[in-house]
Amino acid sequence: EPEVTQTPSHQVTQMGQEVILRCVPISNHLYFYWYRQILGQKVEFLVSFYNNEISEKSEIFDDQFSVERPDGSNFTLKIRSTKLEDSAMYFCASSEPSSGRQETQYFGPGTRLLVL
């Protein structure tokens, strides 16, 4: 069964460093998302991406964040200058093309980011 994959599974970085989190969505999906979950808290939406551009973004997704689909398979989240509060689990998700209804978002296993 196709699944979303994410690398790395864990990342430890120093405050102020740049990190890139990678995702490979399910192959026939066209909508991509990033969510984050601070330890013990709920899952929060960051950004959605469709047709090579951002569809929606939350208040969390400030200028320190960017997303990119560098090739036909990868979808990346970059944090330019990490802060302590960026420590969280980051989930990538993807969904099928929409026919006007909400398609199910399938999540990857997550990347646990720790900023020291």
Partner 1 sequence: AQKVTQAQTEISVVEKEDVTLDCVYETRDTTYYLFWYKQPPSGELVFLIRRNSFDEQNEISGRYSWNFQKSTSSFNFTITASQVVDSAVYFCALSEPTSGNTPLVFGKGTRLSVIA
Residue from the set 7, 11, 13, 58 that interacts with partner 1 by CB under 8 A: 58
For residues 22-41, which are near partner 1 according to CB under 8 A?
31, 33, 35, 41
Alpha-carbon distance of 26 to 111, in angstroms, equals: 17
SS3 63: coil
Q: Does 106 help bind partner 1 (rule: CB under 8 A)?
A: yes
Residue from the set 24, 43, 60, 114 that interacts with partner 1 by CB under 8 A: 43
CA 81 → CA 3, 12, 28, 40, 86, distances in Å?
A: 30, 13, 33, 24, 10
Q: Does 62 help bind partner 1 (rule: CB under 8 A)?
A: no
